[in-house]
Amino acid sequence: MLLQRFLIRLLTMAITLFGVAVVVFVVIRVAPGDPIAMMLPPGASDADIARLRALYGLDKTIVQQFFIWLGGVVRGDFGTSISLRQDVLGLVFNRLPATLELATVALLMAVAIGGSAAILGARERGTAVEAGIDIASGTALSIPDFLWGLVLILLFGVLIPVFDISGRVSPQLDLPFVTQFYLVESMLRLRFDLTWDLLKHMLMPAVALALPLAAIIAQLLKQSLKEVLDLDYVVLARVKGFSETQVILREALKNAALPTLTLVGVQFTFLIGGTVIVERLFSYEGLGNMAIDAVINRDLPLIQGIVLVFALLFVLINLAVDMMYALLNPRLRHG
Amino acid sequence: MSAACLDIRSLSAVLPNGQRVLRSVSLSVQPGEVRALVGESGAGKTMIGKAVLGVLPPSVRIAEGDMLLEGEDLGQLQPKARRTLIGARTALIPQDPLTALNPSRRIGPQMTDRLVRILGWSDERADNRIRQLLDEVQIRDPERVLKSYPHELSGGMRQRVLIAAAFAAEPRLIVADEPTTALDVTVQKQILRLIAQLQRDHGTAILFVTHDLGVVAKISQRVSVLYAGKVVEEAETAALFAAPQHPYTRALMAATPRYTDPLASLRPVDDAVLAGLAAEIAAADQAWRRPHG
Ligand SMILES: Nc1ncnc2c1ncn2[C@@H]1O[C@H](COP(=O)(O)OP(=O)(O)O)[C@@H](O)[C@H]1O
Ligand SMILES: [Mg+2]
């Protein structure tokens, strides 16, 4: 029964990814702009252009191209980047860890900020504190992540320059890393000086990405906490002598978090989408930054590879959310 | 005379629009006594219980009156001290066992948390105590029940669990808010008998809220009749049934020929009685408004 559900799930994921691959493949080929024309100097002959086309397989029909590409993907070969002349998979995996670390830090920030605001607002419901939280979250939500990025650059990069606003790590530092998960590895190696440097670089892009999500969490979790706080079992806990804070943390939070969790999952995929522009703003060397270069250069294999990896991430996040939901909800666990 | 277990003196509660939901309610519960509070739905019975336990909804404000728990004036205490006192000396048997247990926590910790976290008992002592109480409410497989989530138990089982938890810390006062109303008719009698049994064994005072005069007759020594937030009559239970004084009480009794008749409560109270009640309440509000309005 459980295995069956798992297999169905796996099949849906595969179909989703296939759909994404088809759509991207077609759209970037139909959109204007020729990668070959951008590679060659202005005076190149028609013969040169034709030769390069054939080299990258662009002389075949879209359907033929797709199945050639798909055949490669199935074997783990995502092709060669036209602009960087390197293996696409290698490029993507080289950049992915930076984006994952940034997105994870942003998510943790959003949960911490939004969660605390929700708990405080629920505890102080009906007071000026709650009203203040509503105003703050309304503001945070009405400004998109890349505008927060600009605001932060102006504030802390230009007016009060206390944080690094560019790059992933200070260039003069010697990096002992063997993986691209710099943040994780710096902590494992107990090189907290490097951890600190990485975090200082990450802080502003992460805050820019986190603020809108924090606001959503604050609003949604607060609302659902307030609903739970009127329920009978919460009243009973108050009669037992528990304080309002204890009541929220012990009785209400877990149940109130369930409806919030699904939405946070969806919003987290938006956050990852947001890394594309925010990484660019802060010259952060992640996958999103590379995606913009790939689009500018009409680097078709690289765009395909990056989009597919993003799609895979989204699908995995949805899966993780479903599993956490089941884990938190005893009814589903035993049903 | 020793202090009453609970003494409510002229308690009024108002809604934000100024309307009174409790109208100068006075009532006391003596140590070890079962005091019934009877009235139709919406009369304010739950509100009185919540006022005593300090869990009124935020929109309801206490406008006058005192509540003394074993001689201690609850209104004079700091919030934390009041909360702790209520947690230590009182307990609630709620109306609906389906919503009164946290769906995401196992039964065991929900039963012991007050003993351990508020009263400071050791885990082992609390566990032993809870098992003893589960035995008293005739739960034969405590192991399974303690490990269960609420949705895995029937309504009757959950109410037994809640009753056991209420008696576990030997509270002086239990507020039982229509503890059988949400249950199947067949289970109602068992649960009522259980509460009566545990009440006798433990000598706990109970403020027993019900809309059912049949239940009043079975379980209580004294009774207050509530209408629209006002106590219209109070008497020894036997005396009330022998010679009801207030027309409303007589009307309620006439409308409840046998407590097993499910349609009884649907029979309307006489128009003349209602008109008399309306006048009585208007006069009370008039008198109250002069100093308070
Ligand atoms: N949260 C609340 N806010 C405002 N009024 C309420 C609230 N809860 C109940 N009331 C009103 O208070 C009155 C008494 O309600 P309640 O004590 O629940 O009655 P009972 O328990 O006797 O059926 C009713 O008129 C009801 O509409
Ligand atoms: Mg009620």
Q: How many A/B residue pairs have CB atoms within 8 Å?
A: 73
CA end-to-end distance (rounded Å), chain B: 36
> Beta strands B222-227 and B34-39: pairing type?
parallel
Mean pLDDT of A224-245: 96
- The answer to whether the beta carbons of residues B148 and B109 sit under 8 Å apart is no
For A286, the token pair is 């992640």
Mean pLDDT of A85-94: 94
pLDDT exceeds 90 at position A51: no
Query: What residue ranges of chain B have pLDDT lower than 70?
Result: 1-2, 257-268, 293
Mean pLDDT of A173-184: 92
Q: By residue range, what is the domain housing residue B272?
A: 6-292
Does A243 contact B at CB distance below 8 Å?
Answer: yes
> Which residues of chain A does B54 touch, with a Cβ-Cβ cutoff of 8 Å?
238-239
Distance in Å, CA B42 to ligand 2 centroid: 7
Please enumerate in sequence order all residues whose Cβ is within 8 A of that of A245, keeping only pairs 6 or more positions apart, or say none.
A119, A123
Distance in Å, CA B47 to ligand 1 centroid: 6
Partner residue facing B87 (CB), from A232, A241, A250:
A241
User: In whole angstroms, what is the distance from residue A91 CA to residue B125 CA?
Assistant: 62
Distance in Å, CA B154 to ligand 2 centroid: 22
- Tally of domains in chain B: 1
Of the candidate ranges A30-34, A127-131, A218-222, A295-299, the one whose mean pLDDT is the lowest: A30-34
DSSP B139: -
Nearest CA, atom 14, ligand 1? B44
Q: Name the residue of B47, B59, B252, B265 whose CB sits within 8 Å of the most ligand 1 atoms, as the mutation to test its pocket.
A: B47
Task: Please check whether residue B42 lies inside any domain of the structure.
Answer: yes
- Could you tell me the pLDDT band of residue A329, with boundaries at 50, 70 and 90? confident
Of the candidate ranges A1-5, A301-305, B6-10, the one whose mean pLDDT is the lowest: A1-5
Q: Which pLDDT belongs to residue A335?
A: 40
Rounded to 10 deg, the angle between the A300-328 and A287-296 helix axes is 150
Whether residue A230 and residue B86 make contact (CB cut-off 8 A), yes or no, is no
Mean pLDDT of A162-167: 81
- Could you tell me the pLDDT band of residue A57, with boundaries at 50, 70 and 90? confident
Chain centre to alpha carbon of residue B10: 18
At A132-150, the pLDDT tens digits run 999 999 999 999 999 999 9
Model pTM above 0.90: no
Q: Which pLDDT belongs to residue B271?
A: 80
DSSP B264: G
At B178-224, the pLDDT tens digits run 999 989 888 999 999 999 999 999 999 999 999 999 999 999 999 99
Whether residue A240 and residue B55 make contact (CB cut-off 8 A), yes or no, is no
Find the Cα–Cα–Cα–Cα dihedral B21, B27, B30, B32, rounded to 10°: -40
Task: Please check whether residue B74 lies inside any domain of the structure.
Answer: yes
Task: Please check whether residue B1 lies inside any domain of the structure.
Answer: no
Q: Which long-range contacts (CB under 8 A, 24 or more apart) does B258-263 make?
A: B258/B214, B259/B212, B259/B213, B259/B214, B259/B215, B259/B217, B260/B214, B262/B185
> Which residues of chain B does A241 touch, with a Cβ-Cβ cutoff of 8 Å?
83-84, 86-88, 114, 118
Q: Which pLDDT belongs to residue B14?
A: 96
Nearest CA, atom 3, ligand 1? B59
Look up the ipTM and state it.
0.91
- Determine if ligand 1 sits within 6 Å of the CB of residue B21: yes
> Which residues of chain B does A331 touch, with a Cβ-Cβ cutoff of 8 Å?
103, 149, 151
- Determine if ligand 1 sits within 6 Å of the CB of residue B55: no
> Which residues make up the CATH 1.10.3720.10 domain(s) of chain A?
92-333
- Determine if ligand 1 sits within 6 Å of the CB of residue B94: no
By C-alpha distance, the chain A residue nearest B85 is A241
Which of helix, strand or coil describes residue B118?
helix
> Which residues of chain B does A125 touch, with a Cβ-Cβ cutoff of 8 Å?
58
Does A233 contact B at CB distance below 8 Å?
Answer: yes
Q: What is the CATH number of the domain that holds B52?
A: 3.40.50.300
CATH superfamily of A92-333: MetI-like (1.10.3720.10)
Whether residue A125 and residue B58 make contact (CB cut-off 8 A), yes or no, is yes
A positions 191-210 inside 8 Å of B (CB): none
Q: Which pLDDT belongs to residue A62?
A: 86
Distance in Å, CA B44 to ligand 1 centroid: 6
Of the candidate ranges A51-55, A109-113, B61-65, the one whose mean pLDDT is the lowest: A51-55
